[in-house]
Amino acid sequence: MSFATRFDELKAMGDLPSPSGVALEIMRLTQREETSIQDLARVIQADPALAGRLLKFANSASVGVRRPVVAIEDVVKLLGIAAIRQFVLGISVLSNYSHGRCEGFDYPGFWSHSLATALAAQALAGLERVIAPEEAFTCGLLARVGQLGLAAIYPDSYTAVLLSCSHADEQALLAREHEKFVTNHREMTIALLEDWGLPAVHLEGIAASYQPGPGELEGASRVQRIARQLYFSGHIARFCVAQAAEQSERLANLEELAFSFELDEASLERLLKKITQAWIEWGRLLAVPTQEVPSLVNLKEELQEKMERQTSASEASNFTPLRILLVSDDELNCKRFTGWLESMGHSVNVAREGREGLSLVLENQCQLVIYEHRLSGASSMKFCRSLREMKRGQQVYLIVLTGPMSGDEAIRIFEAGADDHIAKPFNYEVLQARVGGGERLIRLREEAEQEREATRGYLADLAVANRRLGQMAMTDSLTGLPNRRYAMERMEQAWAEYERNQNPFSCLVIDLDYFKQVNDQYGHEAGDGVLREIANVFRSSARSSDIICRLGGEEFLAVCPDTASAEAFHVAERLRRAVEEHRWTSLNSTGALSISIGLATSLEEMQHWNDLYRLADQALYQAKRSGRNRVCMASSPDRKN
């Protein structure tokens, strides 16, 4: 059974998140061509809270309003019907699902993170406008809404899944979800957003943003650029919602990602200040929890002080305390064992029952757990097995405190996952010796893991370097466009798809008119500037599905998959007009240059993509002979131009 079919069945259950009545009416209206701005404004005004939020959004700095907007009709005109539809959808889902039945799901924390992601995506879209900032806001807000869906459909089972792995490790959570539900929150997110009508390019960008690392998001396509913005936005959100002790640890990762967006320290500081201020304001408006976020300067000072303290402590002693969890409901034993363990220099947390203990193992990243076998109403075997089923729990050293027991009972405890057991009564020296034995094994495991991490890091760096070398081999160094080698590969791929599906396939051969005169009159440096500018003109004027490449000199190629001749002609004309109307900063003039374009579309009698390319090249020469600054379509291959 496909996931689309399963999603329809889940949808029929009625438990999946969905927009409110007003939001549904707005979505219905925006799908009708005859809907007027006044009709839409009238429905929005029926919900005063929604109207107020829309006014605030329209007047926010990132939208770029020059004067305050006070009328809902003006908001609709400013943002556009599509953006209104998406914004209302996101805010409606947030308002309706601020809490739920899944005990293990942190609803306030989820929306706090989602709101920070939305505002970060909105701010980044203002810096690099891949999609409109108001659209980026909705994409960020709903990028993980599939978690809300799983929590709604499987409240009890999803609690167990969340307890079994760390929330910080999304890849592990996705795998655990798929193992349990034969789907995961990534698939659920895309299915929900597609059902709610978000554009395909937004869905693809959100899906791609789930990559485990930024090295997977280095492409220049629109989808990859959206994914990069959302990936960075998610890390900004994690920085915002992190505990104070964790924020300084997340700083290095944030600065590394900022570098890929060409943001220096001062620019990153300004960006974060803008995002966190908006986060706190929107948090108050939407009843979403937020917190003050320290400046980067203060965080770096705290990090430096922490490192100095750690260095001093390391010099004073080589001892590193263990993070120990004691699970017991005996008040007297808790006080006695905690005192003993702390006198050894270790850090101790206490849980009164097994479920709380499992949660604290994840929360505090415990290294050693001491569990009281006779805990009332609990089973040591069940606790041991549950701990070992967790990824983090597999690394924990587990000591079980027991009373006098038979050999068979001890064997069952070890089979369930215990590393050691101590029979009561025992004294301080026995506990110290057993904890010391556990510490030695823990340190050996940590050293082995550090070596594995170093190896993985080296291999990851090597993979990134190889990808970058491959990208450089396929990229024109002057314009940043794909080069001739890449163009020929894409032609071959598009031709293979044409032969499989028989969908029309077109290509444009483009030549800059009288470019030699530019070099002769202004010099080769100005000529290089013109080539860089025309590459940017092509990027902004072409469709997202078109692949623009530089073949060499002043000659370019556009590969247009799934495109018939009439549509390809419109694409070519749009490129031609964009060049004709462009103001050339390299030449300080408008309309100084033009292009000639030869166009050819696949035909049944063609044998190879070279036939298509040859016809387009012949059409280009026809355009040149006919006076330049024009588009010429190729004749059939059995006729001569």
Q: Name the residue with tokens 């363990």.
A: 341
Say yes or no: 83 and 107 in one domain.
no
pLDDT of 628 over the 90 cut: yes
Identify the top-confidence range among 13-22, 39-48, 52-61: 39-48
Give me the phi and psi of 518, to 5 degrees please.
-65, -50
- Asked whether 445 and 405 are in contact (CB, 8 A), the reply is no
Predicted confidence (pLDDT) per residue in 173-228, tens digit: 999 999 988 889 999 999 988 888 888 999 999 999 998 766 566 677 899 999 99
How would you classify the pairing of strands 583-584 and 397-402? unpaired
According to the model, what pLDDT value does residue 596 have? 96
At 640, the pLDDT band (50, 70, 90 cuts) reads very low
Token digits of residue 608? 């190879």
> What residues have CB less than 8 Å from 610, skipping those under 6 apart?
none
Spot the catalytic one: 389, 447, 554, 555: 554
Sheet strands side by side (includes 547-552): 547-552, 555-560, 506-512, 595-601, 631-633
pLDDT of 123 over the 50 cut: yes
Secondary structure, 3-state, 530-544: HHHHHHHHHHHHCCC
Say yes or no: 199 and 115 in one domain.
yes
Token digits of residue 131? 């999609």
Name the 3-class secondary structure at 551. strand
Q: Count of alpha carbons within 13 Å of 177, Cβ hemisphere only?
A: 25
According to the model, what pLDDT value does residue 503 have? 87
According to the model, what pLDDT value does residue 117 have? 93
According to the model, what pLDDT value does residue 639 have? 43
Q: Cis bond leading into 425, ω under 30°?
A: yes
Sheet strands side by side (includes 397-402): 347-351, 323-327, 368-372, 397-402, 420-423
One-letter amino acid of 53:
R
Name the 3-class secondary structure at 353. coil
Burial (CB < 10 A; 0-12, 13-18, 19+), residue 73, is middle
Say yes or no: 283 and 182 in one domain.
yes
Say yes or no: 256 and 110 in one domain.
yes
- Determine whether 554 is an active site residue: yes
- Asked whether 127 and 261 are in contact (CB, 8 A), the reply is yes
At 387, the pLDDT band (50, 70, 90 cuts) reads confident
Name the 3-class secondary structure at 349. strand
Within a domain: 333: yes
**Rounded Cα–Cα distance for residues 263 and 267 (Å):** 5
What CATH code is carried by the domain that includes residue 272?
A: 1.10.3210.10
According to the model, what pLDDT value does residue 641 have? 40
% of the chain with per-residue pLDDT over 70: 86
Within a domain: 65: yes
Within a domain: 593: yes
- The residues facing 482 across adjacent strands are 475
Say yes or no: 240 and 357 in one domain.
no
Final residue of a structural domain among 96, 127, 142: 96
Q: Which domain holds residue 246?
A: 99-297
What single-letter DSSP state applies at residue 61? G
Final residue of a structural domain among 279, 297, 315: 297
Within a domain: 302: no
- Asked whether 108 and 241 are in contact (CB, 8 A), the reply is no
Predicted confidence (pLDDT) per residue in 320-350, tens digit: 888 999 998 877 778 878 888 888 888 899 9
Within a domain: 12: no
According to the model, what pLDDT value does residue 520 have? 86
Say yes or no: 271 and 333 in one domain.
no
> What residues have CB less than 8 Å from 546, skipping those under 6 apart?
558, 559, 560, 571
Final residue of a structural domain among 47, 68, 96: 96
Within a domain: 163: yes
**Rounded Cα–Cα distance for residues 587 and 585 (Å):** 5
Say yes or no: 80 and 120 in one domain.
no
At 57, the pLDDT band (50, 70, 90 cuts) reads confident
Say yes or no: 136 and 272 in one domain.
yes
According to the model, what pLDDT value does residue 318 have? 61
According to the model, what pLDDT value does residue 574 have? 94
Within a domain: 462: no
Predicted confidence (pLDDT) per residue in 79-101, tens digit: 777 777 777 777 777 877 888 88
**Rounded Cα–Cα distance for residues 323 and 346 (Å):** 7
**Rounded Cα–Cα distance for residues 493 and 609 (Å):** 9
Mean pLDDT of 132-150: 88
- Asked whether 531 and 554 are in contact (CB, 8 A), the reply is yes
pLDDT of 452 over the 50 cut: yes
Name the 3-class secondary structure at 264. coil
pLDDT of 625 over the 90 cut: yes
How would you classify the pairing of strands 323-327 and 347-351? parallel
Say yes or no: 511 and 397 in one domain.
no
Say yes or no: 263 and 380 in one domain.
no
The alpha carbon of residue 219 and the mean position of all alpha carbons in its chain are separated, in whole angstroms, by: 14
What CATH code is carried by the domain that includes residue 353?
A: 3.40.50.2300
- Asked whether 358 and 390 are in contact (CB, 8 A), the reply is yes
Within a domain: 460: no
Say yes or no: 88 and 137 in one domain.
no
| Number of separate domains in the chain | 4
Say yes or no: 105 and 91 in one domain.
no
> What residues have CB less than 8 Å from 570, skipping those under 6 apart?
none
Mean pLDDT of 493-503: 89
According to the model, what pLDDT value does residue 356 have? 87
Mean of the per-residue pLDDT values for the chain? Answer: 83
Of 95, 118, 124, 58, the residue nearest 279 (C-alpha): 118
